[in-house]
Amino acid sequence: MKVVELANQRYATKRFDSSKQIPKEHIENLKEVLRLAPSSINIQPWQFTFIENPELKAELAKVSLHNEEKINQANLLVVFSVADDLDEFQKVVESSLPQGLVDWYNSIRKTLPESELKNWFAKQVYIALGVGLSACVAMGLDSTPMEGIEGDKYQEILNHKSYKPILALAVGYHSEEDRNRVEVTPKSRRAAEDVIISL
Ligand SMILES: Cc1cc2nc3c(=O)[nH]c(=O)nc-3n(C[C@H](O)[C@H](O)[C@H](O)COP(=O)(O)O)c2cc1C
């Protein structure tokens, strides 16, 4: 399928059909695609938690603001977390990156205040979200990216120590009753001439 068709097909799903199961192979593919996501200096300051267990998903749904219903309906919830403990993450960097990149990271860490460094980390996690969204539609899966989660409560429930949840992605198949389907609610975007500059 052509990339523009896929971009038109993908939409933020508001109602899922929980009776349709996601093939295991698609879930495994999504894990691998996220692991392969690009990041600045290959820093990979993330963890992706895959939740299929309905009870655990329901517990997280309760602390997901306006997203509760769709998280309960979707068969899979992927939580995107960012490295939050810099000393712990230093060990990850030193054990997984070549020395040249470790040195580069160390110079960035020395220069940036902690809040800016963490902000830079978070930007990398958003890149992985974009990669995940594209992968889902390419596999024929529907999804909803969600910032509307209570990250601190997610962290407690998931018992994450050094990574902080900042985003979630509900994945499954849309319900025919979903009013946000592109056939019902056409895509709304700014005009190409406003956002694309070709020189
Ligand atoms: C980073 C991010 C966070 C979002 N958070 C939510 C959310 O919490 N709940 C929700 O229903 N949609 C959420 N959305 C969906 C957007 O509202 C949606 O992508 C946007 O309106 C464009 O519509 P489309 O994706 O259907 O084309 C989010 C999208 C992004 C990219």
CATH of the domain at 82: 3.40.109.10
Tokens describing residue 5: 């068709």
The CA distance from 88 to 66, in Å, is 33
Give the residue, out of 134, 144, 188, with the most ligand 1 atoms within 8 A of its beta carbon, to mutate for a pocket test.
144
**187 C-alpha to center of ligand 1: Å?**
12
The answer, yes or no, to whether any atom of ligand 1 lies below 6 A from the CB of 187, is yes
Ligand 1 centroid, distance to 69 Cα (angstroms): 15
Measured by CA distance, the residue closest to atom 31 of ligand 1 is 145
Shortest-distance atom of ligand 1 to CA 180: 26
Can you tell me the distance from the alpha carbon of 39 to that of 71, in angstroms, rounded to the nearest whole number?
27
Minimal CA–CA distance to 106: which of 93, 118, 115, 95?
Answer: 93
- pLDDT per residue over 150-175, tens digit each? 999 999 999 999 999 999 999 999 99
* Average pLDDT for the chain: 98
3-state secondary structure of 94: helix
**Alpha-helix runs per DSSP H in the chain:** 3-9, 24-35, 54-61, 68-73, 86-96, 99-111, 114-138, 151-158, 192-195
- 123: Cα within 13 Å, side-chain hemisphere: 11
pLDDT confidence tier of residue 1, bands split at 50, 70 and 90: low
Distance 12 CA to ligand 1 centre (A): 6
In degrees, to the nearest 5, what angle opens at C-alpha 7 toward C-alphas 3 and 11? Answer: 155
Enclosing domain of residue 73: 3-195
pLDDT digit string (tens) for 11-70? 999 999 999 999 999 999 999 999 999 999 999 999 999 999 999 999 999 999 999 999
Question: How many domains is the chain partitioned into structurally?
Answer: 1
Name the band, by pLDDT with cuts 50, 70 and 90, for residue 126: very high
| 9 confidence band (pLDDT: 50, 70, 90) | very high
Does 144 sit in the ligand 1 pocket, CB within 6 Å? yes
Is any ligand 1 atom within 6 A of the Cβ of residue 151?
no
Q: Three-state DSSP class for 163?
A: strand
